[in-house]
Amino acid sequence: MIPYGKQNISQEDINAVIEVLQSDWLTQGPKIPAFEQAVASYCNSNNAVAVSSATAALHIACLALNVGKGDIVWTTPITFVASANCALYCQATIDFVDIDKDSGIMSIEALTVKLEEAALNNRLPKVVIPVHLAGQSCDMQAIKALSVQYKFRIIEDASHAIGGQYKNNPIGSCQFSDIAVFSFHPVKIMTSAEGGMALTNDAELAEKMQLLRSHGITSDQNKMTEHSHGPWYYQQIDLGFNYRMTDIQAALGLSQLEKVDEFVKKRNQLAQQYDLAFEQTNITPLKQNSQCYSAYHLYVIQLHEQNSAKHKTFIEQLRANKIFTQVHYIPVHFQPYYQELGFKLGDFPAAETYYQRALSLPLYPGLTESEQQYVIDKVKSLL
């Protein structure tokens, strides 16, 4: 079976993990701050906070921006549920902004209209979470301009996008956002097995997220409510979580980071081959913005016809031919939990049309030329 995504682990990665396993540190050691500094430097960001997953990063990012009961958070319906769940963890209200039907990312037109209506009804969001679907950045400059006008904060869900660029700046630089979040899950661009990271140029936000990832505990005398009892002493000054990354994960992440540019270059080459192969067919790849350099976490195509039965059959036939395609994503508002919150079919038409047409083809650095050609041939023949 050819998977839609797969990690690329080298002997250097294995050696880096073994080195930590043979050291005095397995959990909270020197590799974590080294990994944070390396990612921050790579992305031209001032601060990076390593955590156990991108979901954890989204959660503490919301908390750092003081999202709570009575607040409203907006994201896109075409994403993994974590992009919306993070707001609910904070007891906030969640809502969605429909996508651009050609690119799959948050529609600036839909966002503008929704903001205008929300301003009239006094229902403006406190935070907007644009999602860089498949590795391509949303139009962050436009979203930033709207945030200035309507006074909301921005968390980039860049889980798919480390190694990508927007307007010649690395995704994660936070040029147009308060916080950006990466995922290091094995099928992503690079991996730390599990893990995530939040980046920000705001030192106070970074400090808040560092506190929240480890139970809200500090050993810093300047933050304590009384004089330290001794070198063993710590205080819990906030209600935090066990969202820590381990030194083992950080060592793997550090090693993988050295190859990110190589991984993304290969992904772009594979995507170009798909583009050429499907030029004269009824298959439509996601539209790419010329101001972006996609990390190409996914290669998403949309079938010409909006037909859920044919969509399902096509995916089943590809899997029967040992090509594991996947759909990214089921619209979040389709989920039973979210329908209980009041969302219903028809709320976000572009996202719903996308769902009936979209599928992700295999794309990862280890995909061979012959495997990709096999995928192309089968897709064309099954059409």
| Higher per-residue pLDDT: 220 or 300 | 300
Average pLDDT over residues 137-149: 98
Residue 233 CB: number of other CB atoms within 10 A? 12
Residue 220, beta-bridge partner list:
none
CATH superfamily of this structure's domain 260-382: Aspartate Aminotransferase, domain 1 (3.90.1150.10)
Does the pLDDT of residue 73 top 90, yes or no? Answer: yes
Q: Are 311 and 356 in contact (CB under 8 A)?
A: yes
**Tens of pLDDT along 227-284?**
999 988 999 989 999 999 999 999 999 999 999 999 999 999 999 999 999 998 989 9
pLDDT at residue 308, as a whole number: 81
Q: Which CATH number fits domain 11-257: 3.40.47.10, 3.40.640.10, 3.30.1200.10, 3.10.20.30?
A: 3.40.640.10
Domain extents for the chain? Answer: 11-257, 260-382
Element (H, E) at 198: strand 196-200
Q: Where are the alpha helices (H) located in 179-259, listed in sequence order?
A: 203-212, 247-257
pLDDT given for residue 207 in this prediction: 97
pLDDT of residue 111: 98
Give the contacts of 15 (CB within 8 A, at least 6 positions apart). Answer: 255
What pLDDT does 187 receive?
95
Q: What is the pLDDT of residues 187-197, one digit of tens each?
A: 999 999 999 99
Average per-residue pLDDT for the chain: 96
- Would you tell me how many other CB atoms lie within 10 Å of the CB of residue 288? 17
Phi, psi of 373 (to 5 degrees): -65, -40
Q: Does position 304 have pLDDT exceeding 90, yes or no?
A: no
For residue 248, which phi and psi values (nearest 5 degrees)? -60, -45
Q: What pLDDT is recorded for position 136?
A: 98
Task: Determine the pLDDT at residue 46.
Answer: 98
Q: How confident is the model at residue 306 (pLDDT cuts 50, 70, 90)?
A: confident
Percent of the chain surpassing pLDDT 70? 100
Q: Which two tokens stand for residue 68?
A: 């709570």
162 conformational bin, left if phi > 0, alpha if psi -120 to 50, beta if neither:
beta
pLDDT in tens, 33-55: 999 999 999 999 999 999 999 99
pLDDT at 241: 97
Predicted local distance difference test score (pLDDT) of residue 8: 96
Give the model's pLDDT for residue 291: 94
pLDDT at 383: 84
107 pLDDT above the threshold of 90: yes
First and final C-alpha spacing in the chain: 20
> What global pTM score does this model have?
0.96
